[in-house]
Amino acid sequence: MARPKFEATTAQIEGAYEAAKKGLTDEEIARAIKVRPGTFKKHKDQFIDALKRGREEGIPIIVDDLQSALLKKACGFEYTEVHEKKDGKGNVVEKRRITKFYPPDTLSLIFTLCNLEPMRYRSVNRVPTAGSNENEPTVEELFSEMAETTPTPYAIPSSHDTNQV
């Protein structure tokens, strides 16, 4: 007797759509809808419309999640760790909660500011070198330009300052 031909149910197609919307891989989608990965791959044409629609709709959700995670990392955050002490039999004897602070990540902060406010926080890659064009701005000019566009004033020492240590 031959195996019955695989036919995807509406529940499996809807499940594939929801899983694709979350950004899961084909193998993870197959597990989520309770189909073997090989079967899913072989009969993927039955799911193709649901997968395309789910992945297209899921992109803004994933981007929002990534943007939130980047902002959280840039600003720093607190998190709680649970430490368990077990006896020789594996029973939990003591449970402690420890709150820790993840400090702001400078690189994430720079990346976030440069991308969210590009005109205000732009990268300066124009550093003059010896023998460069005379029309190129000097480092002091670049820093003073940055100081004018940055909301927080900061002191920029002159390279000709004789009081340097």
With 0-12 / 13-18 / 19 or more C-beta atoms within 10 angstroms meaning exposed / middle / buried, residue 48 is: exposed
Higher pLDDT among residues 79 and 106, named by residue: 79
Round to whole Å and give the CA distance between 81 and 24.
Answer: 27
Q: pLDDT value at position 4?
A: 81
Q: Are 100 and 141 found together in one domain?
A: no
Q: Are 87 and 99 found together in one domain?
A: yes
Residue 66 lies in a domain: no
Q: Are 116 and 131 found together in one domain?
A: no
Residue 163 lies in a domain: no
Overall domain count for the chain? 3
Structure tokens at 7: 């036919």
Residue 150 lies in a domain: yes
Which of 140, 60, 143, 75 minimizes the C-alpha distance to 110?
75
CB atoms within 10 A of CB 20: 24
Q: Are 104 and 144 found together in one domain?
A: no
Mean of pLDDT over the chain: 80
Provide the domain limits for residue 27: 10-61
Q: Enumerate residues 6+ apart whose C-beta is below 8 A from 85.
A: 92, 93, 94, 95, 96
Residue 4 lies in a domain: no
Q: Is the pLDDT of residue 132 over 60?
A: no
Q: Is 60 helix (H, G, I), strand (E, B) or coil?
A: helix
**Averaged pLDDT, 23-52:** 91
pTM: 0.44
Q: Are 31 and 48 found together in one domain?
A: yes
Residue 67 lies in a domain: no
**Averaged pLDDT, 95-117:** 86
Which of 47, 44, 45 minimizes the C-alpha distance to 14?
47
Q: What percent of the chain has pLDDT over 70?
A: 75
Angle at 17 between CA 11 and CA 21, to 5 degrees: 145
Which of 40, 37, 39, 33 minimizes the C-alpha distance to 17?
33
